[in-house]
C-alpha cells in the first residue's frame, strides 16, 4: 500500500451522520460514510449490480453487528468495513483506508 500518499477529501462534518458522500480520487469514485458512532469508512462508489456510481446515496444502517449501506439501486447491503456484499458472497466492492486528522478526512490506497 502506498502509505505516503494520503488524499484529503473533506471535513468530517461535510459527511452527514449516518450518511455518505461521493468523492473523486484520481478519477476513481469512492463513497465515504459516517456511521452513528462517528466512525468513518470508505468503499468504492460503483454499485457492482448496476454499474452506476451511486453507493454513497444509499441508506446507512446495520445488519446484525455490521455497519452497512444498502445500494439505492437494488438494495443489496455492503459491509462498510470490508466492502463485502452481505447478500451475495461472491461480490464485493473495494474498501479504502480512511482516517480523520484534525477534522479532515484522509484516504489512502486508491489507485
Partner 1 sequence: MTKRQRIVVVGHGMVGHRFAQAAVERGLTETHDIVVFGEEPRAAYDRVGLTSWFGHPDGAEALSLLPGGVYDDPRVRLVLDSVVTEIDRAARTVTVVSPPSAGSRDGRQGALLDQRGEPGAVTVHDYDVLVLATGAAPFVPPVEGRGKDGCFVYRTIEDLEAIKAASEAATSGVVIGGGLLGLEAANALVQLGLDTHVVEMAPRLMPVQLDDVAGVTLVRHVEKLGVQVHTGVLTEEIEGDRSVTGLRVRQAGTEEGARTEVVEAQVVVFSAGIRPRDALARECDLETAPRGGVLVDEQCRTADPHVFAIGECAAPGGTMYGLVAPGYAMAEVVVDALLDGPGTFTGADMSTKLKLLGVDVASFGDAFATTEGALELTYADAVSGVYKKLVVSEDGRRLLGGILVGDASAYGILRPMVSSGLALPDNPEQLILPAGSGVRLGMPDEAQVCSCNDVTKADILHAVAEQGCEGVADVKQCTRAGTTCGSCVPTVKNLVEEHFASVGRVVDKGLCEHFRLTRQELFDVVAVHGYRRFDDIVEAHGTGRGCDVCKPAIASILASQTSTHILEPATAGLQDTNDKYLANIQRNGTYSVVPRIPGGEITPEKLIVIGEVARDYGLYTKITGGQRIDLFGARMEQLPAIWKRLVDAGFESGHAYGKSLRTVKSCVGSTWCRFGVQDSVGLAIALELRYRGLRSPHKLKGGVSGCARECAEARGKDFGVIATEKGWNLYVGGNGGATPAHARLLAGDLDTQTLVSYLDRFLMYYVRTADRLQRTSTWIEQLEGGLERVREVVVDDSLGLGAELEAEMARHVGGYADEWAATLADPAKLERFVSFVNAPDTPDPTIAFTTERDQIQPIAPALIPVGAPS
Which residues are near partner 1 by CB under 8 A?
Answer: 8-10, 14-19, 21-25, 27-29, 32, 35-36, 44, 46, 48, 50-54, 57-64, 67-68, 70, 72-73, 75, 77, 90-92, 94, 111
Minimum separation from the CB atom of position 76 to partner 1 (A): 10
Give the largest Cα separation in the chain, rounded. 37
Please count the other Cβ atoms lying within 10 Å of the Cβ belonging to residue 76: 20
Nearer to partner 1, 4 or 89 (CB): 89
Minimum separation from the CB atom of position 4 to partner 1 (A): 19
Q: Residue 40: helix, strand or coil by DSSP?
A: strand
Minimum separation from the CB atom of position 3 to partner 1 (A): 18
Q: 78 Cβ partners below 8 Å, 6+ apart?
A: 43, 55, 68, 69, 70, 71, 84, 85, 86, 92, 93
Nearer to partner 1, 24 or 101 (CB): 24
Amino acid at each position: 500500500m502506498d502509505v505516503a500518499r494520503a488524499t484529503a477529501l473533506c471535513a468530517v462534518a461535510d459527511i452527514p451522520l449516518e450518511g455518505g458522500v461521493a468523492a473523486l480520487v484520481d478519477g476513481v469514485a469512492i463513497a465515504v460514510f459516517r456511521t452513528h458512532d462517528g466512525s468513518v469508512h470508505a468503499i468504492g462508489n460503483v454499485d457492482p449490480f448496476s454499474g452506476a456510481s451511486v453507493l454513497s446515496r444509499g441508506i446507512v444502517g446495520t445488519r446484525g453487528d455490521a455497519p452497512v449501506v444498502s445500494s439505492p439501486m437494488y438494495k443489496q447491503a455492503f459491509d462498510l468495513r470490508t466492502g463485502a456484499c452481505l447478500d451475495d458472497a461472491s461480490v464485493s466492492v473495494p474498501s479504502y483506508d480512511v482516517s480523520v486528522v484534525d477534522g479532515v478526512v484522509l484516504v489512502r490506497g486508491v489507485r
